[in-house]
C-alpha cells in the first residue's frame, strides 16, 4: 500500500501539464524499481543468513 502511495506522489510531482501516458509510464517504472530493489534485499538477507 505504501508503494502505491509513493508511486502516486511521484506521479503528482511530475508536472501536471505532462500527458497522462507519461505519468502512467513513469509510475509503473517506479513500481518495477521498488519491486526489484525489494527482491535484491530479500536475496541479500537470505545470503547473510546462509553464510552465518
Q: What residue segments make up the domains of the chain, in order of their start?
A: 2-51
Q: Name, in order, each residue with C-beta under 8 angstroms of 30's C-beta and a sequence gap of 6 or more.
A: 6, 7, 10
pTM above 0.75, yes or no: no
Tens digit of each residue's pLDDT (9 = 90 or more) over 23-46: 677 667 878 888 898 999 999 998
47 vs 8, more confident: 47
Amino acid at each position: 500500500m505504501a508503494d502505491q502511495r509513493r508511486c502516486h506522489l511521484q506521479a503528482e510531482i511530475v508536472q501536471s501539464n505532462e500527458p497522462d501516458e507519461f505519468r502512467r509510464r513513469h509510475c509503473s517504472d517506479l513500481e518495477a524499481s521498488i519491486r526489484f530493489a525489494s527482491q535484491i534485499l530479500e536475496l541479500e538477507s537470505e545470503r547473510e543468513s546462509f553464510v552465518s
